[in-house]
Amino acid sequence: MRDFNCSNCGQELSFENSVCLQCNSPLGFSLAEKALVVIGKPADPTAPAGITGEVDAEKFRLCDNLHLARCNWLVAVEDEEGLCPSCRLTTTRPNNDDVDALAAFADAEAAKRRLVLELVELGLPIVDREEDPDNGLAFELLSSREENVITGHVNGVITLDLAEGDDVHREQLRVSMAEPYRTLLGHFRHETGHYYFTVLVTTDDDRARFEELFGDPDADYQDALDRHYSQGAPDGWEANYVSSYATMHAAEDWAESFAHYLHIRDALDTAAAFGFAPAGATFERHVPGQAGFDKIIELWLPLAWALNMVNRSMGHKDLYPFVLPEPVLEKMRFIHDLVVAAQTG
């Protein structure tokens, strides 16, 4: 996540700001410019927002989900739907009278906006259900407190249980499932990984390499699920997998590895924006080939170690409580190569 500043007064801004707390300028996030811009009357209304840091208030406004989902993204005034590129991906949400679920919905949408920006930063295609009704990307955000909701992915539709937004509920699940890490953003990255398998692994060579690294993606999923929850992860799984859940099925190994690739890329980009990592760690610096991925890991490992130590100094658990053995790095290298190919394809 890049660093943001108010173009009017220079105040540092967070990704979530809709108003500058120093000069009170109204702000909106422009996905096209990947920037927070002032909504006002720019001196040159024909200049790109990325240059002036402003957009014309007569042409742009904030998303209709400003209050419902705390969304600070821009939409064109003439846009009849009134939803930003992130919010329009959500096809199902809680009822207006479900106050608790709506609060969790806002948290989930905030995490999803970070996901969408990262996907755009990485150059990955985002095809919605309007463009591809059968396999386009969509999100159904509902709470299991009111109905049976299972987080997962089917044919481009990602379902998220909004009960995960409750810290106590999520922590109970994390402990019961022996997971070192569980967040809304982590769920989004994992489930989106399932979607991008169908988008990125398209050639016979890609499929062969996938099976070499991860196994058969068409193996019976229910059998794998039953085996995992009855027997657990195999002994010594840490030598080949990023998490115990990744051992369940090739599809889960891919999704877990994909999620960790996104974790690492975004964390490095943020660290570089604030001076904790070299400028070469940002999304803007393309890193193709084997040397490119090697450089990402070369930057990540000492940063992750340092951040873990900082967390321990504050009495918290490790920020990144994972080990990346060589087989896991090879899986992530494959994902990196596919992402780079999508950028240039």
Query: What is the per-residue burial (b if ≥16 Cβ within 10 Å, else e) of 97-109?
Result: ebeebbebbbbbb
pLDDT at 128: 92
Q: Tokens in use for 67?
A: 């209050």
For the segment 131-179, what is each residue's pLDDT rounded down to a tens digit?
999 999 999 998 877 677 888 999 999 999 888 655 544 454 444 455 5
Mean pLDDT value across residues 248-264 = 96
CA distances from 333 to 5, 163, 218, 292, 326 (A): 34, 34, 22, 9, 10
| pTM over 0.75, yes/no | yes
Mean pLDDT value across residues 193-201 = 96
Q: Tokens in use for 239?
A: 């030598």
Taking the C-alpha atoms of residue 270 and residue 78, their distance in angstroms, rounded to an integer, is 34
For the segment 17-52, what is each residue's pLDDT rounded down to a tens digit?
999 999 999 999 999 999 999 998 766 666 666 667
Taking the C-alpha atoms of residue 165 and residue 98, their distance in angstroms, rounded to an integer, is 14
For the segment 267-294, what is each residue's pLDDT rounded down to a tens digit?
999 999 888 877 777 776 666 666 789 9
Taking the C-alpha atoms of residue 215 and residue 224, their distance in angstroms, rounded to an integer, is 12
